[in-house]
Chain A
Amino acid sequence: MPTFGSWVFGNWHQGRIIDRLAAEEKALNDSGAGHPLNNLSKPSQTNDVESSMLVMSGVTVGPSWWQMMLGGWKNFFGGEIKSFDKMLLYGRRKVLHDMRVQALQQGFDEVINVRVETSMITKKSQKDDRTAGYEFIAYGTAIKYSRS
């Protein structure tokens, strides 16, 4: 019964936060905001750099019990575990979106050398199959060019 609840509420809740993120991204794009993130190793312009700063954003996401159960079965058969994809894709998008918002709000012209890293949150014990989480972090160097 809890697993059924997990399927119903999990789908509903995760669908809701994915839609919310999509709406935020769309609103930002529609407002004409720039795309300051890149993974170049040097500033892209030759103007003088006025200031720079390390910026980071992080999020931790987890699949629902139902998705973990499906994942466990799929593990038996092999192949792509689609049920996990949903939250992992959301995590990565969220972390890059948060960094983009942070850079635009603080007036940075671009964020170079953006790296995204994932780490898994371990289970409490061997038998525990109800705890799972994945941490995503994105970090890069934000640059402000001088206005002369």
Chain B
Amino acid sequence: MWTLADQLISSRFILGTAQYPSLDILCEAVIASKTNIITTSLKRQLQPSPHENLFWNTLKKLNCLVLPNTAGCRHAIEAVNMAEMARELFQTHWIKLEVVGDDYNLQPDVFELIKAAKLLIKNGFEVFPYCTDDLVLCQRLVDCGCRILMPWVSPIGSGKGILNPYALETLRTRLPDITLIVDAGIGKPSHATQAMEMGMDGVLLNTAVSSATNPIKMATAFRDAIIAGRTAHEAGLMSERNVAHPSTVLLDTPFWHGEK
């Protein structure tokens, strides 16, 4: 068990709910992942539909905590408004703050992000900012009251894995008391393991599961990979060496070539 934003939870896996082949597969993937937290978003209703509450009513049955996002926002004021709507709709003060500054790689607009984070924290939100892995940005977010950071490892949906391990290691070392959850760019379970081995506190992903041939099986694979990485981190990884070192002690072995 561990504590995230004052909630005691068991899983270090946060799963997104978008782009699944069906609502049933989404539900089965969530159950297989054993996650405690799922992400959601908001949309404008263009046409009334008899099924308009189906998604939310289905999600409620999963008994997960909900982390709504501000996807699609480009300015702080938009993100603040969307967060207020999410708070009323989902009855949570948690918000995954996304303020995108570039349409091509969906990179966060770090200036608007900080502006929005300040306003939201002042308004009582627990802000989970989707940010880059830049140390100074992360420090500024912490300065304005963020207890949790969600650095990308590569662009959203790219599946490229950890492009800059040095930056993530730096964040872990320099911000030891901040909860770090990697968000965006994870493509394979091995990427998630790598992040957890580095001491990240959790992994948030969506596309790697929802776009898998078998999302339910992939949710299981990520669940196990995240546990493996965390367990390895807690166990303490060996230090790398630049030269070989025999694992078998060679003293007293027959045919010892060193003897004259």
Partners in one complex: no
